[in-house]
Amino acid sequence: MVETLHGIVLNVVKYNDRNNIARIYTRERGMTAFLVPQGNTQAARRRRALFMPLSCIAFEARITPQRDIGTLHGTRRTTVPISITSDPVKTAIALFLGELLTRVIVEQERNEPLYDFIEAGVNLLENTSRGIANFHICFLFHLGRFIGIQPDTASYAPGRHFDMDEGTFVNTVPRGHHSLPPEEARVIHLLDRMTFANMHLFRFNHHERNAMLDTILAYYRLHHSALGAMRSHDVLKQLFAR
């Protein structure tokens, strides 16, 4: 069956000498995978440009039951990512988020709130220049709400620990649980106040920002074991080393 889909490209990996596999999060079907032909022709180069991480596209897809990989054609951009592809900082953020989203989104079903959140984030990354150094921190923190791991910040009180296994603030951490001490736990409560609209008002040095990123990724790994080590993580940290 052929259908029209709207999606956000997350990443592209080599499949064989003739094809790559593109992981695309679609509005209509959730996480999907499609064959994308390789090549060195002008048409192939144009096609590669369409499948940069966080590209928003529409396309015709043929999806066959019992097959994990579909085919697509008639691909077109729904937005033109000028600054994401030309600004090295934004490019690094796009690579990082594409890699992470590929690993933590496992559902192959429609989830419009999650799709809308990612799409809004892509549009903001493309069109804003304020608070970019905090963008990935803000995105990851609020993504938790859509994938079922949002911290229970209502349980916060000064002096409490953050139980990372349960995602809640506690007076005493159960034996064997991963946790943050009160001073670090306070940062989780602080991040709950950060939004895309006010992220430019939050001032962190590179050590603080990278420590936050490490903490958030550690929390994600506890709840999504498939996340593992990320190749784009260190690159992103180095970009914000000043």
The two beta strands, 19-26 and 168-170, are unpaired
Phi-psi region of 78 (alpha: psi -120 to 50; beta: other; left: phi over 0): alpha
pLDDT, position 80: 82
pLDDT, position 241: 54
User: For the chain, which residues make up each domain, given as ranges?
Assistant: 2-151+192-239
Fold of 2-151+192-239: OB fold (Dihydrolipoamide Acetyltransferase, E2P) (2.40.50)
Q: What SS3 state is found at 1? A: coil
Paired with 23 in beta bridges are 11, 33
Does the pTM surpass 0.85? The reply is yes
Dihedral sign from CA coordinates of 20, 110, 197, 169: negative
Q: Give pLDDT tens digits for 60-80.
A: 988 777 778 888 888 999 988
Phi-psi region of 214 (alpha: psi -120 to 50; beta: other; left: phi over 0): alpha
Residue type, 206: H
For the chain, the average pLDDT equals 90
